[in-house]
Amino acid sequence: MNIFIETYHLVKKVIDYPKSLIERQKQEKIAREQKIEQEERNKRLLAETMGTISEVELAKESLGKKDKTDRSNLFTFNYVVKDAMGHTVKGSFDAKTISEVEAFLTNEGYEVIKIEPQKSNVLTMDITLFGGKMKSGDLSFILTQLATYLRAGIPLVDSVRILSRQTEKPAKRKIYDKIVYDLVSGEKFSTALENQEDVFPRLLINMVKASEMTGDLPEILDEMAEYYTQIDETKKQMITAMIYPLVVLVVSFAVVVFCLVYVVPSFVKMYSETESSLPGITVFTMKLSDFFSSHYIMIIILMAAILIGFITAYQNLKDFRRRVQIIAMKTPVLGKIIIYSEVSMFTRTFAQLLNHSVHITDTMTILSKISNNEVYKEIIANTLDTLSKGGKISESFKGHWAFPIVAYEMLVTGEETGKLGDMMEKVADHYSNLHKNAIATVKSLLEPVTIVFLAACVGFILLSIVIPMFDIYGAVGSM
């Protein structure tokens, strides 16, 4: 009983840990913002006293601070409206007052039926509750549509309105409505995306900023749509390659547990009645069956605790995440797949930024925020340090085990010829093809391996049951 109580407390601590960590991070963030705001207020008051800031500058700064503060003090309101076709539409919107929500919805052509504050205990299907960032496939579809509408001469705000009307998901409609609200308020498209940086990737936001300066937004949207399409295809290939072996492994485990818990005990009783000596393989299987039958609840709880603990540590502990990633990247076969995927994504993003004249240091900063791999983040950090000392980009990648020699040589060639963006595109295409081939190879190997594993497990249990039967029949026949 004490074991179950201790296990329960252990699991509870592991489950509660992320909540306490998130709450502590929120409190630290609020404290930092308050400290920064106080320091800036003191500087502003000092400058005003010394007469170094004009009244106009003070007014602009105050307006910017007010807008930022207002965004942090928004409330969520649920609404029910009717569109132009008479269809009832439900959703939610963030604003300071109900009148703001009503004014926005009326301006969008909706007939308002009901608006009410969202209750704090109501769980909404918000996209930020499920991973935050919008999926690559969704981004590809959205950006392609926006580029098509803009080329057809439809204004940007009307294009986003079309996306909002098309979607049936309240969470996505809320995202589009926020963008429309910001655009109608006079904000730039990049600012509207940046106001939802928990949903839209930093890369997309920066590319849209660059397009606003050059005036080629449709072209940028098309390029980013292609980029996210390729990223989505890579992820789907990984998922497809892993689904079959995972299903087989789960089925194998379920079959083995079923045999140990339900099949083997029925034979144990029969063999105990014969009082004959049993072979070692049968004794081992019987003991294993007895252990699973007696402690299966504790085993399930322990496995769940280990899984939750691993996921929590991986998400929140940088050193642990780095060690796991290094082990995975140095594992035979699997390591190549990870490295090919990371190099392809890194160089493709690098090329996109370089080809649109983003400064090299800004490019590296963006890359460090996009990548989730601590090994490549280290390389990027070293690159920034090297650039600050006047060195070349390639110096940080030279001889590194996580950056293949072919990619390094093309990086050097790109630096020397001044065509680094083009070279990185070629590297991305090359390693994208290698990644596809590696996944296909692993998939073809995993299928027979998992089948053999299942056959071996079931066969071992059957042998442990059948062998004593032959011994018993032989003894009976000799009598």
Stronger pLDDT, 94 or 6, i.e. the higher one:
94
Question: pTM of the entire structure?
Answer: 0.66
**Looking at 179-183, 195-199, 278-282, 321-325, which range is the least confident one?**
278-282
Stronger pLDDT, 472 or 140, i.e. the higher one:
140
Say what the pLDDT of residue 58 is.
37
Using the predicted structure, report yes or no on whether residue 427 has a pLDDT greater than 80. Answer: yes
Find the mean pLDDT for residues 128-142.
73
Say what the pLDDT of residue 53 is.
38
Domain boundaries, the chain: 2-72, 75-117, 233-479
- What average pLDDT does the structure give for the chain? 79
Say what the pLDDT of residue 289 is.
82
Using the predicted structure, report yes or no on whether residue 423 has a pLDDT greater than 90. Answer: yes
Predicted confidence band at 173 (pLDDT cuts at 50, 70, 90)? confident
Q: Highest-confidence range of 36-40, 235-239, 319-323, 451-455, by mean pLDDT?
A: 319-323
Domain 233-479 has CATH 3.20.20.70: no
Predicted confidence band at 450 (pLDDT cuts at 50, 70, 90)? confident
425: Cβ contacts below 8 Å, ≥ 6 apart: 347, 348, 351, 355
Say what the pLDDT of residue 193 is.
92
CA distances from residue 456 to 101, 254, 264 in whole angstroms, order as listed: 64, 14, 16
Instruction: Decide if 75-117 and 233-479 have a common fold.
Output: no
Share of the chain above pLDDT 70, in %: 78
- R_g of the chain, CA atoms, integer Å: 30
**pLDDT tens digits along 311-361:** 999 989 999 999 999 999 999 888 888 899 889 888 988 988 888 777 888
> Could you tell me if 327 and 310 are in contact, meaning their C-beta atoms sit under 8 angstroms apart?
no
Say what the pLDDT of residue 146 is.
93
Say what the pLDDT of residue 452 is.
84
Predicted confidence band at 380 (pLDDT cuts at 50, 70, 90)? very high
Buried b (16+ CB within 10 A) or exposed e, 190-212: bbbbbbbeebbbbbbbbbbbbbe
**pLDDT tens digits along 52-106:** 333 334 333 333 343 443 455 678 888 888 887 888 888 888 888 888 888 888 8
**pLDDT tens digits along 269-314:** 677 666 667 778 888 888 888 888 788 888 889 989 999 999 999 9
Stronger pLDDT, 193 or 237, i.e. the higher one:
193
Using the predicted structure, report yes or no on whether residue 435 has a pLDDT greater than 90. Answer: no
302: Cβ contacts below 8 Å, ≥ 6 apart: 7
Say what the pLDDT of residue 160 is.
93
Buried b (16+ CB within 10 A) or exposed e, 224-256: bbebbbbbbebeebbeebeeebeebeeebeeeb
Residue where the block lists tokens 């009326």: 106
CATH pick for 75-117 out of 3.10.20, 1.10.1760, 3.40.50, 3.30.565: 3.10.20
Chain center to CA of 325:
15
Say what the pLDDT of residue 123 is.
44
CA distances from residue 227 to 83, 143, 203, 232, 393 in whole angstroms, order as listed: 34, 11, 11, 9, 23
455/474 Cα distance (integer angstroms): 27
